[in-house]
């Protein structure tokens, strides 16, 4: 068995509402950290604590920490609206692998970015990297899906992803909307793109632009 067949070997399909479990974990961590800044700093991703103090778990745990109710709500709504449908399509095991792997790789690559940029005191937190990966994979597996912005404006899923990518790139390059992890969002898109190629043998560009 070659490496490509191993990487593309499908899981046995099961469905057990992993998206709801993830939402529950995020909510629980938010409640635990809301009254403890020390715990939030312990679980969030900080380059200094990671490299100097050996807080290696932070590249995984940061994705379950949120700084405010609005921060939590925006990410969990994305997970709810797109994650449930995607999980039913992929199965819970595949969905969970995509979500956790994307979130962790977003943490690792964001860490490299912060170290290179000398941003030692920044704290990265939130599920947005993993959620952006879910958004892209949704557009890959449901390319004809129409998403209604503000419940009014119909936008094809692939077009929405491209618009998000364009805005995030602009914000990152221009330095506007500081305090938002634009690089992590773009990494989430990139990880999901590679995941689709490696795991499913699907090129998102061909799916989106084929007639």
124-169, pLDDT tens digit by residue?
Answer: 999 999 999 999 999 999 999 998 887 788 999 999 999 989 989 9
Reported as a single tens digit per residue, the pLDDT across 161-207 is 999 899 899 888 887 767 778 899 999 999 999 999 999 999 999 99
Q: What does the pLDDT read at residue 3?
A: 58
Per DSSP, helices labelled H in the chain are 3-7, 18-34, 37-43, 47-52, 58-61, 69-78, 84-90, 92-116, 128-141, 157-174, 182-195, 204-209
Residue of 160, 175, 10 lying closest to 91 (CA atoms): 10
pLDDT number for residue 26:
98
Give the class (CATH, top level) of 3-209: mainly alpha
Average pLDDT, the chain: 92
Residue 61 reports pLDDT greater than 60 = yes
Q: Which three-class secondary structure state does DSSP give residue 156?
A: strand
- Residue range 78-134, pLDDT digits in tens: 999 999 999 999 999 999 999 999 999 999 999 999 999 999 999 999 999 999 999
pLDDT tens column, 13-48: 999 999 999 999 999 999 999 988 899 999 999 999
Report the candidate in 189, 147, 181 with the shortest Cα–Cα distance to residue 165: 189
Cβ atoms within 10 Å of 14's Cβ, excluding its own: 10
From CA 137, how far away is CA 143, in angstroms rounded? 9
């Amino acid at each position: 068995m070659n490496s490509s067949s191993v990487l593309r070997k499908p899981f046995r399909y099961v469905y057990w509402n992993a998206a709801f479990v993830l939402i529950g974990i995020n909510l629980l961590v938010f409640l635990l950290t809301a009254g403890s800044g020390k715990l939030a700093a312990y679980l969030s991703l900080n380059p200094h604590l990671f490299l100097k103090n050996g807080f290696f778990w932070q590249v995984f745990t940061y994705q379950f920490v949120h700084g405010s109710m609005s921060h939590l709500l925006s990410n969990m709504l994305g997970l709810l609206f797109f994650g449930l449908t995607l999980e039913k399509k992929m199965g819970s095991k595949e969905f969970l692998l995509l979500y956790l792997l994307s979130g962790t790789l977003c943490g690792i690559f964001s860490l490299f970015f912060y170290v290179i940029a000398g941003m030692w005191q920044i704290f990265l937190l939130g599920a947005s990297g993993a959620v952006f990966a879910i958004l892209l994979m949704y557009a890959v597996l449901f390319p004809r899906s129409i998403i209604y912005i503000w419940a009014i404006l119909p936008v094809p899923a692939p077009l929405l992803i491209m618009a998000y990518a364009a805005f995030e790139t602009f914000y990152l390059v221009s330095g506007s909307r500081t305090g938002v992890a634009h690089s992590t969002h773009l990494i989430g898109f990139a990880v999901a793109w590679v995941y689709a190629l490696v795991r499913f043998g699907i090129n998102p560009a061909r799916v989106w632009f084929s007639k």
